[in-house]
Structure 1
Amino acid sequence: MAGLLRNLITLLLALPGVGRHLSNETLKIRFWASPLDAGIRNLKSDRYLQFAECAQLDFILRCGLLGKLMRQGLSFVNGSQLIRFQRPVRMFAIVEVRSRVLWFDERWAWFEHQFHSRGELCATVLVKMKFKQGRLTVPPATLLHCAGDSRPAQLDGWDAALQELT
């Protein structure tokens, strides 16, 4: 229930900024690590994914993508997620999540969500997602602006690890 409420609040707070940004920008959103999000003292690991989901929703809204998705009957589906923890986020801390499209190809788009608290990088969540229209995969280039000149090497290792699992 907390995730649904956080998504609703994110949606309402993002509405004034709808369509004011490009998808090749890094967008920031802040969250408060409440006692409901923490274990004994630190943010629970599943909450990083909830915050990343909200940050992705905020990103899609503020870049004006939600309207395009709805008009064209598109949805987005996460294929996999990867978290790298570096420092704990303490209860009651303000967490700034910096979101950007790291790269995209003809099928997939990779989002990066960096979690910062008290000026330090605490975690990075990578999300591999695709746009769907029914069963058809829609090329991300039809919706997103250029994400960089070359594919980051870190994505090659991640994709190789995913291939080993199948």
Structure 2
Amino acid sequence: MAGLLRNLLVLILALLHQGSVRPAERLVTRFRVTPLDIGLSRLKSDRYLQLTEAAQLDFLMRTGLIGMLIRNRYNFVNASATVRYTRPITLFSKVSVASRVVYSGPRFAYFEHRFEVSGVEHACVLIKMKFKQGRQTIEPSRILGPVGATDKPEHLQRWDDLLDHWP
């Protein structure tokens, strides 16, 4: 329930800034860690993905891409996600999630979401996602335009290689 409420609040606030950012830009979304987000004293691991989802919605709204997705009946599907934790995030922390498209290939776009508290990185979530229209995969550049690196970064290629050999 907390995730749904947070997504709704993000959507309402993003409406005020709809279309104010280009997809190639880094976008920062801010959150406050509430008692509903923690285990004993730290942000629960599943909440990182909930905050990432809210940051993705904010990205789609503030770039104005949500309108194109709705008009064309496109969906975005997260194909894979990985999280690197570096420091715990505690109750009532002000968290900034800096989102950007790292790379956009023929089938997938790779989003990076860096979690920072007081300017210090605490986690990084990478999302491998694709755009779909029914069963058809839409090339990300048709939606996002030119974004991210022109060549796939080595760490993303290693991640894809690992996924290709996953049982």
What interval of TM-score do these two structures reach, taking the shorter chain for normalisation? over 0.9
Q: Which runs of 5+ in 1 are unaligned?
A: none
TM superposition shift of 1:52: 0.3
Which residue in 1 is equivalent to 2:100? 100
Residues 125-146 of structure 1: CA distance to partner in whole angstroms, max 9, x if unpaired? Answer: 0000000000000000101132
Q: Could you tell me how far apart the structure 2 residues matched to 1:150 and 1:164 are? A: 22
Question: Is residue 2:81 matched to residue 1:81?
Answer: yes
TM superposition shift of 1:149: 2.8
Superposition RMSD on alpha carbons, in Å?
A: 0.8
TM superposition shift of 1:20: 1.2
2:116 is paired with a residue of what secondary structure?
strand
Q: Could you tell me how far apart the structure 1 residues matched to 2:149 and 2:17 are? A: 24
Q: Could you tell me how far apart the structure 1 residues matched to 2:151 and 2:130 are? A: 19
TM-score (ref. length: structure 2) = 0.97
TM superposition shift of 1:150: 2.1
Question: Is residue 2:155 matched to residue 1:158?
Answer: no
Residue type at the aligned position of 1:164: H
2:10 is paired with a residue of what secondary structure?
helix
Task: Kindly report which structure 2 residues correspond to 1:68-147, keeping only aligned pairs within 5 A, or say none.
Answer: 68-146=68-146, 147=148
TM superposition shift of 1:153: 0.9
Question: Is residue 2:21 matched to residue 1:21?
Answer: yes
Q: How many residues align?
A: 166
TM-score (ref. length: structure 1) = 0.97
Identical aligned residues as a percent: 48
Q: Could you tell me how far apart the structure 1 residues matched to 2:157 and 2:142 are? A: 23
Q: Could you tell me how far apart the structure 1 residues matched to 2:118 and 2:17 are? A: 25
1:129 is paired with a residue of what secondary structure?
strand
Residue type at the aligned position of 1:158: W
Residue type at the aligned position of 1:120: V
Which residue in 2 is equivalent to 1:10? 10
1:132 is paired with a residue of what secondary structure?
strand
Q: Could you tell me how far apart the structure 1 residues matched to 2:161 and 2:91 are? A: 35
Q: Could you tell me how far apart the structure 2 residues matched to 1:149 and 1:112 are? A: 16
TM superposition shift of 1:12: 0.2
Greater displacement, 102-111 / 147-156: 147-156
TM superposition shift of 1:96: 0.2
Which residue in 2 is equivalent to 1:45? 45
**Residues 22 and 145 in structure 1, CA contact (< 8 A), matched pair in contact too:** no
